[in-house]
Amino acid sequence: MRLKLVPEKTSFDFFSSWKLWMGFSALLMVLSVVSFFAQGLNFGIDFRGGTTVRTESSQAIDIATYRGAMEPLELGDISITEVFDPNFEADEHVAMIRIQAQADGEAISGETIEALQAALDVIAPGIKFVSVESVGPKVSGELVQTAVLAVVLAISAVLVYIWLRFEWQFALGAVAALVHDVLLTIGVFAAVQIKFDLAIIAALLTIVGYSLNDTVVVFDRVRENLRKFKKLSLAEVLNLSINQTLSRTVMTSVTTLIALVSLFVLGGDVIRGFVFAMIWGVIVGTYSSVFVASTILLKLGVKRDWSKQANTTGNQFSNIDA
Amino acid sequence: MLQIDLWKRVLIWLVCVTGLIMALPNAFYTRVEQSNDAVIEIIAKGETPERLEVVEQWPSWMPSSLVNLGLDLRGGAHLLAEVKVADVYAARMDAMWPEVRDALRPERATVGTFRRQPGPDGQIRLKISKPEGMSRALELVRGLATPVTSLTGVGATDIEVSAEGDILTVQLSDAEKLSSDDRTVRQSLEIIRRRIDEVGTREPTIQRQGVDRILIQVPGIGSASELKKIIGTTAQLTFSPVVGRGSDGDAAPGVGNEIIPSLDEPGVFFTIESAPVVTGEDLVDAQPAFDQNGRPSVSFRFNTSGARRFGDYTAENIGSPFAIVLDDEVVSAPVIQSHIPGGSGIITGNFTIEESTNLAVLLRAGALPAGLEFLEERTIGPELGQDSIDAGKIATIVAFGGVLVFMVLSYGLFGIFANVALILNIALIFGMLSLIGGTLTLPGIAGIVLTVGMAVDANVLVFERIREELKAGRGPARAIEEGYSKALSAILDANVTTFITAVILFAMGSGPVRGFAITLGLGIMTSVFTAIFVTRVMIVMWFERRRPKTIEV
């Protein structure tokens, strides 16, 4: 007996209410943009400079006391958050302290850190600084540029690749799905105010890769079916292709989610934001490859007068035998 | 029909076995690491029975390359420093001033008297009293120029001399600035490397980044400030003539002079000439020592040219004080008692034994040619790193178990084939990482976990395709064959696109992000390999043995 998440044969009509899905996606995208501009992202020190200190002590953490102890140091804007994780021991209390970037382009000085530790040691004897990270504003500006460039480069490289392997309509459909995923991910980070740092950019690019993976598998089948069923309308071919690949789409999403959820729960708090972005991205990416990419493709239309030699282009790798 | 040539089967299994063997040392990480360290120690310090015993913890015929653990896993310090290359321009000009003076002095009749004017750093501004002699002055100063030896600056000289009215300006030419910047950064890199090596930490990463930046990563060190102390931000040693001594730090020093405080006498300031007699660059050795009163001190020795200059200066200036300046503070300002010919001497001050030892180390490693500005610094405690490793291990095992069970439930026997491929996959990633000396970071572990989830994708594509072919009424052998050939284009297109993003991440990212890109990229390669070769060989071998009439996928 096999575990089947998707019935043997499905024939869902994915386009009967396409206006609803596109409207839903459009609404989410607008909300993301609004949230991005209204609240902004909770940028980590990678992007806006400053210092984060991770402290560990055996006493329970009272944020007001911590703040009071740091007040005399005049470090400017400080935020303190307590960190919780199932992996922590009972008397292990961890806090993240973030200090704004100090003037003059440099990272924080060693004396400031020592002063900070001395000040906190008074209220929480034996407090340890398990990590201190400091980025000067000079570098953070460059990191923002590089990050934006990386995302734009990745999307355009992919656009070109799909264009070469498929038709331009496919490329546009895939890229629309990617932009959708990236926007929604940024939107959720703005809405929930999770720390947005360099690792999240890596997660964004992985989402781009994953969502694309899904889209390409569907499109590959569309390309094949377009040749096979010349009589069917484009909408029918798309529906057929999505239904045929549905089982695989769900299977891969589930295995990936199994892995990511175990990392989210057990992998420690340091990478939790990163893993959260990827879980969200897998869900959104799976949705978008079915509902966004294909709908765009349907609306753009595909030329179907494939020339004769085109019969082999779909399988141009299939001559490789192993 | 299902057929795979024997040589291909052998090759596929050979790759898998090689990967497994390469990955094996990582399963015994500490033991192999200790053994590797002992091998290095034996080469450096000679053989001892204890060291040999440690070496034998790991058989020498086994591969011993390990995956490097990134700073976020091992703990340590990370610094990104910018070399202030412009510092050197000012020093160069100050050093040139005596030369210019000596060149113009014999021609006083033509150029008249001249004085150095205050000007921006990196320039000599000279006022001459007879502007009509300017062309002669220009000629003389230009005569001091030397050609620049660089690729871009062919035919260029190192200085640019210009005149405006009665002011003559000397500064470094653009070509010389370029080559000077490059020299400065390379020199700084070398000095930082030597200083860190002196302390003897393991596997430091010290590399140049961009034009004027240096990235320093030292695993196992307590904090970034400790690392900064070792690098000794600006341990610059000079021996300078003393013009005067006073208690006012804000007094006008006069052109070509500067006022600096005393290291151990608060409120005491010395006026010294900006152009030093000898600098730390001429130092060949420095050792902690004790002076005649038994106080800790540092003895030093100059190279020949330094010794000559120091000898000449002491011979000419017996009775006048000179200053030993370290990091813009006067360590001591003894009066020259006699001519010191041999080029060696002793620095005394209020040192503790530890301070004198540190000072000797700093002096021996040489002075940094320019100041450093720290743009980024990170300290990760070893406990946090160990916590991350432990959490990562548990998460990977659970992720692994979950996916294995899920695959068997969904695909039965074929799921087991996919699982064997998945295990091989992880081994291959570790094998490749060890082979290329890649670094495993915390996001890198996330990359591996993600690969665990995504690696089954290629197999899922094939299995789903086989199911479809079976449904379409094909025989088992035909269905397997078709399943593989039809799924291939989807597998390749899907993975090439993900691989493109991994490459971009690797090129644009730094540190931990790069670690993620490496494991993701390797994971894509190994998962495609295992899916289209390894599971296929397994299925074919199983099929040949059993010859089943029907198969269920």
- Boundary (domain end) residue, out of B363, B391, B408: B363
B80 belongs to a structural domain: no
Is A322's pLDDT higher than 60?
Answer: no
Is there a contact between A213 and B494 if contact means CB atoms under 8 Å apart? yes
Q: What count of other Cβ atoms lies within 10 Å of the Cβ of residue A90? A: 6
**Contact residues for A59 (Cβ-Cβ < 8 A; gap 6+):** A93, A124, A125
B226 belongs to a structural domain: no
Tell me the mean pLDDT in the region B95-121: 82
Percent share of chain B, pLDDT over 70: 94
If contacts are CB pairs under 8 Å, which of residues 156-185 in chain A contact chain B? 157-158, 161-162, 165
Q: How far apart are CA B286 and CA B345, in angstroms?
A: 10
B196 belongs to a structural domain: no
Residues B65 and B91 in one domain: no
pLDDT of residue A88: 82
Q: How far apart are CA B284 and CA B311, in angstroms?
A: 16
Q: Which residues from A are below 8 Å from B221, CB to CB?
A: none
Say yes or no: A254 contacts chain B, CB-CB below 8 A: yes
The strands making up A50-57's β-sheet, listed across from edge to edge, are A78-83, A93-99, A50-57, A128-135, B372-380, B76-83, B213-219, B205-209
B337 belongs to a structural domain: yes
Q: Which residues from B are below 8 Å from A256, CB to CB?
A: 450, 453-454, 457
Tell me the mean pLDDT in the region B291-297: 82
What digits encode the pLDDT tens for the residues B195-227?
Answer: 787 666 667 888 888 888 999 988 888 788 888
What digits encode the pLDDT tens for the residues A72-105?
Answer: 888 888 889 888 888 788 888 899 998 888 766 5
Residue B416: give its domain's CATH number. 1.20.1640.10
Is there a contact between B552 and A2 if contact means CB atoms under 8 Å apart? yes
Is there a contact between A254 and B375 if contact means CB atoms under 8 Å apart? no
Residue B304: give its domain's CATH number. 3.30.1360.200
Angle between helices B224-231 and B174-199 (to 10 degrees): 120
Say yes or no: B442 contacts chain A, CB-CB below 8 A: yes
Say yes or no: A128 contacts chain B, CB-CB below 8 A: yes
Residues B102 and B172 in one domain: yes
Residues B66 and B103 in one domain: no
User: CB of B161 within 8 A of CB of B167?
Assistant: no
Say yes or no: A314 contacts chain B, CB-CB below 8 A: yes
Q: Which domains does chain A have, with CATH numbers?
A: 18-42+140-304 (1.20.1640.10), 50-135 (3.30.70.3220)
If contacts are CB pairs under 8 Å, which of residues 294-333 in chain B contact chain A? none
pLDDT of residue A257: 92
Greater confidence (B306 vs B19) lies with B19
Q: How far apart are CA B446 and CA B454, in angstroms?
A: 12
- Cα four-point dihedral sign B389, B392, B398, B402: negative
**Pairing between β-strand A50-57 and β-strand B68-69 as defined by DSSP bridges:** unpaired
What digits encode the pLDDT tens for the residues A235-244?
Answer: 899 999 999 8
Say yes or no: B163 contacts chain A, CB-CB below 8 A: no
Q: Which residues from A are below 8 Å from B376, CB to CB?
A: 107, 134-136, 139
Q: Which residues from B are below 8 Å from A107, CB to CB?
A: 374-377
Euclidean distance between the first and the last CA atom of chain A, given in angstroms as a whole number: 31
User: Which of the given ranges, B46-50, B184-188, B417-421, has the highest pLDDT on average?
Assistant: B417-421
Q: Which residues from A are below 8 Å from B505, CB to CB?
A: 150, 154, 202, 205
Residues B395 and B343 in one domain: no
Residues B386 and B358 in one domain: no
pLDDT of residue A32: 94
Beta bridge partners of B157: B147
The pLDDT confidence band at residue A276, using thresholds 50, 70 and 90, is very high
pLDDT of residue B214: 92
Euclidean distance between the first and the last CA atom of chain B, given in angstroms as a whole number: 19
Is there a contact between A271 and B442 if contact means CB atoms under 8 Å apart? yes
Residues B13 and B101 in one domain: no
Residues B450 and B357 in one domain: no
B193 belongs to a structural domain: no
Q: How far apart are CA A236 and CA B116, in angstroms?
A: 87
What digits encode the pLDDT tens for the residues A143-183?
Answer: 888 888 888 888 888 888 888 888 888 999 998 999 999 99
What digits encode the pLDDT tens for the residues B401-429?
Answer: 999 999 999 999 999 999 999 999 999 99
pLDDT of residue A310: 44
Q: What count of other Cβ atoms lies within 10 Å of the Cβ of residue A167? A: 17
Residues B269 and B343 in one domain: yes
pTM over cut 0.90: no
The pLDDT confidence band at residue B243, using thresholds 50, 70 and 90, is confident
Tell me the mean pLDDT in the region B356-382: 77
If contacts are CB pairs under 8 Å, which of residues 18-77 in chain B contact chain A? 72
What digits encode the pLDDT tens for the residues B437-460?
Answer: 888 888 888 888 878 877 788 899
Tell me the mean pLDDT in the region B129-141: 85
Pick from B380, B460, B504: CB nearest A251: B460
Say yes or no: A316 contacts chain B, CB-CB below 8 A: yes
- Boundary (domain end) residue, out of B363, B391, B412: B363
Radius of gyration of chain A (CA): 25
Residue of B nearest to A205 (CA): B501
Q: Which domain holds residue B171?
A: 86-178
Summary mean pLDDT of chain B = 83
Beta bridge partners of A134: A51, B377
What digits encode the pLDDT tens for the residues B312-345?
Answer: 888 888 888 888 887 677 877 777 777 877 778 7
Helix, strand and coil percent figures for chain A, each rounded to 5: 65, 10, 25
pLDDT of residue A103: 66
Q: What count of other Cβ atoms lies within 10 Å of the Cβ of residue A5? A: 12
Q: How far apart are CA B451 and CA B429, in angstroms?
A: 10
Say yes or no: B211 contacts chain A, CB-CB below 8 A: no
> Best of A5, A92, A206, A289 to disrupt the B interface by mutation (most B CBs within 10 Å)?
A206
pLDDT of residue B104: 85
pLDDT of residue A126: 84
Greater confidence (A104 vs A286) lies with A286
Residue of A nearest to B399 (CA): A259
Domain count, chain B: 3
> What count of CB pairs under 8 Å joins A to B?
260
Say yes or no: B375 contacts chain A, CB-CB below 8 A: yes
Tell me the mean pLDDT in the region A108-133: 85
User: CB of A274 within 8 A of CB of A200?
Assistant: yes
Residues B404 and B349 in one domain: no
Residue of A nearest to B382 (CA): A130
B371 belongs to a structural domain: no
- Boundary (domain end) residue, out of B363, B395, B427: B363
Is there a contact between A268 and B452 if contact means CB atoms under 8 Å apart? no
The pLDDT confidence band at residue A313, using thresholds 50, 70 and 90, is very low
Tell me the mean pLDDT in the region B261-279: 82
Is A226's pLDDT higher than 60?
Answer: yes
A196-205, A310-319, B308-317, B463-472: range with lowest mean pLDDT:
A310-319
Pick from A205, A265, A320: CB nearest B501: A205
B183 belongs to a structural domain: no
Q: Which residues from B are below 8 Å from A245, CB to CB?
A: 464
Residues B336 and B436 in one domain: no
A301-305, B238-242, B305-309, B541-545: range with lowest mean pLDDT:
A301-305
pLDDT of residue B367: 67
Residues B414 and B354 in one domain: no
Tell me the mean pLDDT in the region A5-10: 80
B471 belongs to a structural domain: yes
Q: Which of B244, B247, B90 is nearest to B170 (CA)?
A: B90
What digits encode the pLDDT tens for the residues A16-58?
Answer: 888 888 999 999 999 999 999 998 888 888 888 888 999 988 8
Residues B412 and B532 in one domain: yes
Percent share of chain A, pLDDT over 90: 22
